[in-house]
Every structure is written in structure tokens, then in C-alpha cells.
Amino acid sequence: MAAPLTFLNNDSKILSLIRSEDDEGLVMLYEANRKPIRAYISRNNGTEDDADDLLQEALIVLWERVRSNRYQYTARLSTFIYATVKNMWLRRLARLRRESPAEVEEMTGRIESASALDIMIESEEANLIHKALAELGEPCKTLLILYYWEEQSMEEIAEALHLANADTAKSKKYQCKKALHQLLKQKM
């Protein structure tokens, strides 16, 4: 029988906190990584605000991956955060310098910050959808975010939004999505 893994850091605790929807795990990571990230960004012509913004982005990326079971523990969380921030910062710098993001990707390896869908979407389209969602109002906005971003099941969504059951949630989601498409058609 294999001996249980022993972590010499808080990573297992943080991961279990994220899985149990406790934001304290992210707070712990934020505190632990703020200083080195600020140091890295300031060494590379960034500000403290840039560093904090990127660190938050990296935390969200981690959160998304853990919550959707796409995260594999191959390195310490701080390593993941550091690599993600580095990747995002280099991409942002490349964008500013009108360089090819592909070159940056090659430089920084395969640790991705966002999904392919996020990269694909243009900021103009994203703004349109954001506005359409705002117009859609509640509970449609939250329902769609819970389903597509948090990837919650219909049972979880029904519970969170106080709907009768999963079927009601599924039906509601269909209506919301249809309404969103109509709104987007009007805007595009």
C-alpha cells in the first residue's frame, strides 16, 4: 500500500479549500505570492497594480482549472502562479510592442493562462456579450455564468437559484440562452 503523499506546504489545503468553494484558499495564495510577483513585474517594467491584476488573473485561472477538474498537480501552486503570471505578462508586453504572441508562447512554454476560447474571443465581441448579459438581467445572467463558466450541474444551479429542480433549471437555461442570442442578433 502506497504511503500517502505528504505536502510540505499548504498546497493540498489550498486546493481542498478551492474545491469546497472557500475563497480563503485564494487569499492564502494571494498573500504568499504577492511579494515575488510584484518583484518580478517591477523588474520587468511593470507596476504594482499590474502585478496585483495579473496575480488575480492567475488565481482565477487556477480556480477555473481546479473547479473543472482540469488541474493536475505537477508543480507547486506558487510555481504554477508564477509561470502563469509570467506568461500573461509577456503576452501583454508583446501586445504592447505589436509582437507576435506566438513567439511569446514558444518562449514561455505550455502553461496557459486562459482557455482557447478566451484567446479566440475579441474584446469587442466580449463587450457585446457582457452588455447583452447585463440587459438580460437576473436570474438569467447568473444562471448562464454558473453553467458555462463555473460549470455547475443543473442540480447545483437549481439549488443556488432556488429553482424547483434540475429540469426547471434546464428549461430556464434554454430560455435564457435563446434570449441572449436574440439580444446579440439585435446588437450585431
**Residues engaged in binding other proteins (CB under 8 A):** 23, 26-27, 30-31, 52, 56-57, 59-60, 63-64, 115, 117-118, 120-121, 125-126, 128-130, 132-133, 141, 144-145, 148-150, 174, 177, 180-181, 184
Q: How far apart are CA 130 and CA 166, in angstroms?
A: 26
Min dist CB 164 to other proteins, Å, is 21
Residue whose CB is less far from other proteins, 90 or 183: 183
Residue whose CB is less far from other proteins, 105 or 150: 150
Min dist CB 70 to other proteins, Å, is 11
Sign of the C-alpha dihedral, residues 62, 64, 67, 73? negative
Residue whose CB is less far from other proteins, 76 or 177: 177
Min dist CB 118 to other proteins, Å, is 6
Q: How far apart are CA 18 and CA 131, in angstroms?
A: 29
Min dist CB 12 to other proteins, Å, is 21
Residue whose CB is less far from other proteins, 28 or 93: 28
Min dist CB 74 to other proteins, Å, is 22
DSSP the chain: -PPPP--SSSHHHHHHHHHTT-THHHHHHHHHHHHHHHHHHHHTT--HHHHHHHHHHHHHHHHHHHHTT----SS-HHHHHHHHHHHHHHHHHHHHTT--HHHHHHHH-S--SS-HHHHHS-HHHHHHHHHHHHHH-TTHHHHHIIIIIS---HHHHHHHTT-S-HHHHHHHHHHHHHHHHHHHHHH-
Min dist CB 7 to other proteins, Å, is 20
Residue whose CB is less far from other proteins, 106 or 149: 149
Residue whose CB is less far from other proteins, 98 or 122: 122
